[in-house]
């Protein structure tokens, strides 16, 4: 009888270890990086990339949207999203010093409020709401409708006026203009 109990416990421990290892090496929302070097400015974003998987992504809470309008969103999944600027920039028209910041949003139907926060190193275990007293900047950026994107993506595009940082997921795009100071 003791042998059967020990075998049962061993099987459960092995299953738990395999589950943890699988989620480490094959996460449901894999890590992503986006970066650009343009006109002497380097920008890098580190984030997680969840999939839509047939869900309602943005919408009203009553409709069970994954990310309800008016609620904090870490811009991805898992750990907090972080952005680094090599130089002082204008972020959607507002001055930001060179350095690294936590970046998150509050989505709305017509615009996303994009916030930079000085709290860094927020891991998956502590990636809840940020300390809002550490917010250094809040900007409203309009939403545009685009063809459907299955996996959340942050990318960059540059032109003669500067850089646009794009957030794409479901059928929305938010393009944040960034220029070097």
Provide the pLDDT for residue 102: 95
Per-residue pLDDT at 89: 97
Is residue 156 one of the residues assigned to a domain?
A: yes
Q: Which of 68, 97, 91, 69 is nearest to 163 (CA)?
A: 91
The number of domains in the chain is 1
Determine, yes or no, domain membership for 19. no
Does the global pTM surpass 0.85?
no
> Digits of tens for pLDDT over the chain (181 positions)?
888 887 888 878 877 776 666 555 655 678 899 999 988 899 999 999 999 999 999 999 999 999 999 999 999 888 889 999 999 999 999 999 999 999 999 999 999 999 999 988 776 555 578 889 999 999 999 999 999 999 999 999 998 888 999 999 999 999 999 999 9
Asked if residue 74 is part of any domain, the answer here is yes
pLDDT at residue number 8: 82
pLDDT at 28: 63
Name which of 79, 98, 80, 81 is nearest 90 in CA terms. 98
Helices and strands (H and E) in the chain: how many: 1, 11
User: Where in the sequence is the domain holding 133, given as residue range(s)?
Assistant: 28-180
Domain membership of residue 5 (yes or no) is no
pLDDT of residue 141: 98
Q: Is residue 18 part of a domain?
A: no
- Do the domain assignments include residue 87? yes
Position 11 in a domain: no
The answer to whether residue 159 is domain-embedded is: yes
């Amino acid at each position: 009888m003791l042998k059967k109990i020990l075998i049962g416990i061993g099987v459960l421990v092995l299953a738990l270890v395999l589950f943890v290892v699988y989620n480490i090496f094959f996460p449901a929302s894999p890590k992503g990086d986006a970066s650009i070097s343009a006109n002497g400015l380097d920008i890098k974003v580190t984030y997680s990339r969840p999939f839509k998987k047939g869900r309602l992504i943005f919408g009203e809470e009553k409709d069970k949207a994954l990310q309800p309008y008016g609620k904090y969103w870490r811009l991805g999944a898992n750990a907090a999203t972080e952005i680094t600027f090599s130089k002082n920039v204008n972020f959607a028209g507002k001055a930001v010093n060179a350095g690294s910041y936590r970046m998150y949003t509050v989505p709305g139907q017509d615009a996303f409020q994009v916030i930079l926060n000085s709290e860094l190193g927020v891991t998956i275990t502590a990636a809840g709401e940020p300390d809002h007293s550490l917010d250094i900047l809040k900007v409203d950026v309009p939403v545009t409708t685009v063809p459907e994107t299955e996996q959340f993506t942050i990318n960059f595009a540059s032109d003669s006026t500067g850089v646009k940082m794009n957030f794409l997921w479901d059928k929305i795009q938010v393009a944040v203009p960034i220029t070097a100071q």
